[in-house]
Amino acid sequence: PFVEQLAVYEPGRPLEEVARAFGFADVSGLIKLASNENLLGPSPRALDAMRASAAKMHLYPDGGCHYLRQELAARLGVEPANLVFGAGSNEIIEFLGHVFLGPGTNIVMASQAFLVYRLVAAAFEAKVVDVPMRDHAHDLDAMLRAITPQTRLVFVANPNNPTGTMVDGAALHAFLDALPDHVLAVVDEAYIELVDPAAQPELISRVRAGRNIILLRPFSKAHGLAGLRIGYGIAPPGVVALLEKFRQPFNVCAMAQDAALAALADEEHLVRTRTLVRDGLAFFEEGFRRLGLDYVPSTANFILVKTGRGREVFQQLQRLGIIVRPVDAYGLPEYVRITTGTAAQNEACLRALEQVLAGAKP
Ligand SMILES: *Cc1c(COP(=O)(O)O)cnc(C)c1O
């Protein structure tokens, strides 16, 4: 009975599924701006690495991700023992649940932060202490006040999904300094590489200093490898060692490791991605203002826009071949979340949105 009542995550639907459901001949007429993927695609270097990798797919991967670990450690200025790898950073959130959560414990999170934290807490029978957001951003003071002796993890998604808001470095450091010792701070930096490097809070020094913190980073977003499922955590060695207890020996696929290593070396692709996202956000903001729609200014590769009746708008857009994300599961029934795509995709999306909203008016 306990398992039966657990909620499941509603992901953005795969293109093929939407094509089948809406009678499109194939996926070519569809535009998916629903899952914050990198619409430039993977780096060409990562593609080459995947092709080379294909020929050795009869072999199990290196469960320790040796080469990727060495490279990342060097780039980040940490020790290899500071890194833990998962099949997506979501898997690391699950490791955190295994290690730290159970009946009688709780997590503290913002009420409109990434849903997976909530689902993992529920799976491990931990309570969720919800902290309302302020102007769609984490209210760090309120989160600090919400911590109890039973709190094991406090989650800060920075930038946050689905709101796209970010807390600034000084406020984050003050919050982390004030956390009691029995709480591990989980700073989910899924979109941090899309942020202008000068605006990225510097948190790795806290890992080096052995503070109670883990930073989570996927290769799914900025690096464009969502389909391969690979992400990592940066934490003090003691925390990494605990998480490793729950890691299956071959959790990260070999092709993902090779592609991630190649993607790291492609700075140019990352810069092009940042530019695409910045241009996309500017385009949507301008368009929303023209249509008289409220939106939440974003620092990531997606934007929340207030359309009214978000799920209906999502469904009508889908009929037009545009897939966005309803966010009613986040308590935002009046909004949809739109991922920034290429210029042509963004234009098609805005045109369709305008059409849907015009039709919806009495
Ligand atoms: C997309 C996303 C993730 C998941 O990343 P994977 O590495 O693909 O599992 C984690 N956190 C946030 C906030 C995200 O938006």
Instruction: Output the CA angle 275-15-114, nearest 5 degrees.
Output: 60
**Atom 3, ligand 1: residue with shortest CA distance:** 190
**Atom 1, ligand 1: residue with shortest CA distance:** 190
Query: What confidence score (pLDDT) does residue 121 get?
Result: 97
- The predicted model scores a pTM of 0.96
Q: To which residue do tokens 């790795």 refer?
A: 204
CA of 89 to the centre of ligand 1 (A): 6
Query: What confidence score (pLDDT) does residue 361 get?
Result: 53
For residue 159, say if its preceding peptide bond is cis, omega within 30 degrees of 0: yes
**Atom 14, ligand 1: residue with shortest CA distance:** 190
Work out the average pLDDT over 301-323: 96
Which tops the pLDDT comparison, 21 or 113? 113
Q: Which residues contact 217 (CB under 8 A, 6 or more apart)?
A: 89, 189, 190, 192, 193, 231, 232, 233, 234
Task: Give yes or no for a contact between 190 and 221, defined as CB atoms under 8 angstroms apart.
Answer: yes
Query: What confidence score (pLDDT) does residue 362 get?
Result: 41
Q: What is the pLDDT of residues 321-342, one digit of tens each?
A: 999 999 999 999 999 999 999 9
Q: What percentage of the chain reaches a pLDDT higher than 90?
A: 92
**Is the predicted pLDDT of residue 267 greater than 80, yes or no?**
yes
For residue 132, say if its preceding peptide bond is cis, omega within 30 degrees of 0: no
Q: Kindly report which listed range (17-26, 29-38, 254-263, 276-285) carries the lowest average pLDDT score.
A: 17-26
Rounded CA separation 341/349 (Å):
9
Rounded CA separation 240/14 (Å):
33
Binding site membership of 301 for ligand 1 (Cβ less than 6 Å): no
**Atom 2, ligand 1: residue with shortest CA distance:** 190
Q: What is the pLDDT of residues 176-228, one digit of tens each?
A: 999 999 999 999 999 999 999 999 999 999 999 999 999 999 999 999 999 99
11 pLDDT tier (thresholds 50, 70, 90):
confident
Q: What percentage of the chain reaches a pLDDT higher than 70?
A: 99
CA of 90 to the centre of ligand 1 (A): 6
Binding site membership of 158 for ligand 1 (Cβ less than 6 Å): no
